[in-house]
A = this chain, B = another copy of it.
């Protein structure tokens, strides 16, 4: 049995730099037609020069694989000429709201200082991609941030806002409240809760930000994905770390799902008799929301037992060593 996807897209991905980029970028670019490349390098991608340089580093690896990297800038207060120069080079600007504390009102007052940048983004049609968490209690951070999303959505009604890697029922429900609000969801948040991370032995390879939440949150996310909710896109947030940074006294946040995401999604959608919605979730929604036309690419899987490698280089993937029932054809 085979199953094909037409130009699947990963709308949130960490490619890193240098050797890690060389390791992980092909593992996305082989299977996806395009992806939204996060700008949180050290230092962050926050100028046209850095953007051009990073794109060329990425393209050197991904171009032979017929993959479109949709680049992003790291949010700061930009001048109009910067945004004009960036406009055609980026799919959006990614905001990590470092100043947003438990108190979302103070978060909003911080963001108010960036009013002119938001206004220009709105006018120029540049989407805003947001890591929406306060600095409050770890299980509440996303829900507390909803009021910030609300403030953004109401004050900039023509700004397209993507709630990145949503993890809560609250965020799923919020999706329907404002026309200009969209979201991505990862693979792992459709599958796991905090119980999988910390309910038995503590699992550093399942630790990510935002942290996996409660069963009712996972159910709401899964339901929205299986129905291919028109405002929800797949964004893996695949975030590789070398194993020594995960199995460590201070474990870095991030789950590496790039090479395994599509097979596990096929398995998941098949299990719920929703395979017919996977194309929309993995490609059509993103094309419509971002008005993009990705490269033509067919990714075909066949139903076969496949054991996920325990490592890709020095990176441990999601479900390392476990068996999936679908894998890429001819692999």
Q: Are A248 and B250 in contact (CB under 8 A)?
A: no
Which chain B residue lies CB-closest to A136? B195
In the assembled complex, A247 has its CB within 8 A of some CB on chain B: yes
Give the Cβ gap from A100 to chain B, nearest Cβ, in Å. Answer: 14
Cα A28 to Cα B181 with chains together (Å)? 56
The size bracket of the interface on A is 20 to 34
Given contacts A139-B139, A247-B248, contact A198 B215 (CB under 8 A): no
Cα A324 to Cα B216 with chains together (Å)? 41
Q: Name A193-237 residues within 8 Å CB distance of B.
A: 193-195, 197-205, 207, 211, 214-215
Q: Name A173-198 residues within 8 Å CB distance of B.
A: 193-195, 197-198
Which chain B residue lies CB-closest to A251? B202
Q: Are A194 and B250 in contact (CB under 8 A)?
A: no
In the assembled complex, A252 has its CB within 8 A of some CB on chain B: yes
Q: Are B215 and A137 in contact (CB under 8 A)?
A: yes
Q: Which of B137, B198, B202, B204 sits near A193, CB closer than 8 Å?
A: B137
Q: Which of B138, B202, B316 sits near A207, CB closer than 8 Å?
A: B202
Cα A251 to Cα B247 with chains together (Å)? 9
Given contacts A198-B198, A198-B211, A211-B198, contact A204 B251 (CB under 8 A): yes
Q: Are A203 and B249 in contact (CB under 8 A)?
A: yes
Q: A138-B199, A139-B139, A204-B248 are in contact. List 9 more A-B contacts (CB 8 A).
A: A137-B194, A138-B195, A139-B194, A201-B252, A202-B202, A202-B253, A203-B249, A203-B251, A204-B251
Q: Are B214 and A250 in contact (CB under 8 A)?
A: no
User: Chain A: interface secondary structure?
Assistant: loop
Q: Are A207 and B203 in contact (CB under 8 A)?
A: no
Which chain B residue lies CB-closest to A310? B249
Q: Residue-by-residue, is A241-261 near B (CB-CB < 8 Å gives 1, otherwise 0)?
A: 000001111111100000000
Cα A151 to Cα B99 with chains together (Å)? 48
Q: Which of B137, B199, B201 sits near A195, CB closer than 8 Å?
A: B137
Cα A201 to Cα B241 with chains together (Å)? 13
Cα A249 to Cα B131 with chains together (Å)? 27
Cα A198 to Cα B137 with chains together (Å)? 10
Give the Cβ gap from A125 to chain B, nearest Cβ, in Å. Answer: 36
Residues of B within 8 A of A203 (CB): 249-251
Residues of B within 8 A of A200 (CB): 250
Give the Cβ gap from A306 to chain B, nearest Cβ, in Å. Answer: 21
